[in-house]
Chains A and B, each alone.
Chain A
Amino acid sequence: DIQMTQSPSSLSASVGDRVTITCRTSQSISIYLNWYQQKPGKAPKLLIYAASSLQSGVPSRFSGSGSGTDFTLTISSLQPEDFATYYCQQTYSIRLTFGGGTKVEIK
């Protein structure tokens, strides 16, 4: 199985801050990595697919980068509606797996 490690598990930030979340995989997954945002009581929402492709309708302040085993989700200027939990997901392996999540809280 491909293990996925997100860091940090939580962070506190202010509106306007630049936020970076990292996802590391236990083996190379090329670019087969997606990022999702989940707010309390809601279903996850796709933000980024194929490591760096922005899903239609998602604000451009969200960006993704990386390949192989190391990936990053960046929010260039944190907005009030961005406080949520973020998950990475690999689709390289036939057993799809998610990272443990990163909770972004208000400082």
Chain B
Amino acid sequence: QVQLQESGPGLVKPSETLSLTCTVSGGSVSSGSYYWSWIRQPPGKGLEWIGYIYYSGSINYNPSLKSRVTISVDTSKNQFSLKLSSVTAADTAVYYCARGLGYCSGGNCLRFDYWGQGTLVTVSS
């Protein structure tokens, strides 16, 4: 059974960098047709996709966040990470890591089948 667990500071100051890690168990971040992803949800609002890193290393970011986002993988620890720079109060949200699974040969055949429990990050001084 695949499990994902987010970890990182719950409070970040404005203008600083938000850093989160997702630890994967029950599977490998370096195998399979998986898109290791970050998704966030501001309190009381809907879901926003942040970006993903494909198991091969290719990356896709939400254009609205692209200038501030970095997603990377650490295969030795079976983890992937999110860094979001220059945060403001608008970045306050529950951050989820998720596994995207390709279900056909095309790049747009993608479903998020496993999710972490989510971690609330508050941006405040």
Contact = CB atoms under 8 A, between A and B. Distances in A.
A55 to B, nearest CB: 7
Given A32-B108, A49-B103, A43 B115 contact: yes
Interface residues of B, number: 21
Contacts of B113: 46, 55
A46 B98 CA distance: 11
B118 to A, nearest CB: 5
Interface in B77-104: 96, 98, 103-104
Nearest to B107: A94
Interface of B: 46-49, 60, 62-63, 96, 98, 103-104, 108-113, 115-118
6 pairs of A and B residues whose beta carbons are closest in the complex: A43-B115, A49-B111, A96-B49, A98-B47, A91-B110, A91-B108
